[in-house]
Structure 1
Amino acid sequence: MKSNCLHLAIPAGDLATAKIFYCDILGCKTGNSEDGRWVDIDFWGNELTLHQSEEKLPNVRHKVDMGEVAVPHFGIHLPEDEFQALKGRIKAAGLEYLDKPYRRFVGGDYEQETFFIEDPNGNVLEMKTMVNPELMFK
């Protein structure tokens, strides 16, 4: 059986705090877990495993068209309505963007709105909505 589910495990700091961010703000659901050690998050159909930790991933900035972006980072491409709803939840939670929403490649095949946000342990997420998602890997 072929699976298209990506699995990513990251240091999450305090799991209870991380679950609030990923579930209450981002809108994800929890899955399997080992109490006090790790929890699986349904990250839009992908398996994100949050590990209880004291460490954080190092971040550096790399130059791209929109400036310098934090690396490493991960994220998801969302339909426009889900993307806008997510921005609303972030605003309602009083969270700050690491990099505010920005429109890239305007007028081109890859036009998108993107923003970067940090989870409570400093992991960087890039959230996007594509104008033409069907052209992403043409």
Structure 2
Amino acid sequence: MDATTNIPPFHLAFPVHSIASAREFYGELLGCPEGRSAEDWVDFNFYGHQIVAHLAPEEVGHVKTSAVDGDAVPVRHFGVVLSMKQWSEMAGKLTAAHTKFIIEPHIRFKGEVGEQATMFFLDPSGNALELKAFANMAALFAK
């Protein structure tokens, strides 16, 4: 399936230490509309994909990193590929909200096939997120 057309939504469940903090971070800061919920979980519309925060404080956080283009990238992370405009707007919004970035917004693989804008940050439970963008979306899987 072409990465730029009609992608079926993925589903991702992940642990959080607090449902209230997840609602504030994903719902309010990132602007993800809330879907169904119960006392110990809540789902969000993450750019058309279903992510579900499950109350599991004993499983939160990330530990390992991997070197990628000079950055220590959290091995366990998730995110979304945005348009450059959306990425720039979100970088501005997160910076204005004093988000502590693991990897500051920047361009990775400059001048290479996989050149991309990227940023990494943690949610309140220590889950790592990456938001990225390509000037040319067709380069998403290019070698």
Query: TM-score if structure 2 supplies the norm length?
Result: 0.87
- Residue 98 of structure 1, CA deviation: 1.1
- Residue 107 of structure 1, CA deviation: 2.0
Q: Give the match for residue 115 of structure 2.
A: 111
Runs of 4+ in 1 over 3 A off after TM superposition: none
Identity %: 36
What pairs up with 1:57-68 in 2 under 5 angstroms?
A: 57-68=61-72
- The one of 73, 76, 86 aligned to 2:77: 73
- Residue 13 of structure 1, CA deviation: 1.3
Deviations 1:51-101 (A, max 9, x none): 122221442111222322111011111111111111122122221111111
**Separation of aligned partners in 1, 2:23 and 2:69:** 33
SS at match of 2:79: strand
Q: State the aligned residue count.
A: 136
Aligned CA RMSD, in angstroms, stands at 1.7
Q: Give the match for residue 42 of structure 1.
A: 45
Tell me, which stretches of 5 or more residues in structure 1 are unaligned?
none
Q: Give the match for residue 24 of structure 2.
A: 20
- The one of 77, 86, 92 aligned to 1:88: 92
**Separation of aligned partners in 1, 2:72 and 2:139:** 25
Tell me, which stretches of 5 or more residues in structure 2 are unaligned?
1-6
Query: TM-score if structure 1 supplies the norm length?
Result: 0.90
**Separation of aligned partners in 2, 1:97 and 1:57:** 15
- Residue 122 of structure 1, CA deviation: 0.1
What pairs up with 1:4-15 in 2 under 5 angstroms?
A: 4-15=8-19
| CA spacing shift, 1:123–1:43, aligned 2, 3 Å | same
SS at match of 1:109: coil
SS at match of 2:101: coil
SS at match of 1:19: helix
SS at match of 1:98: strand
SS at match of 1:83: helix
- Residue 125 of structure 1, CA deviation: 0.3
1:135 counterpart = 2:118 = no
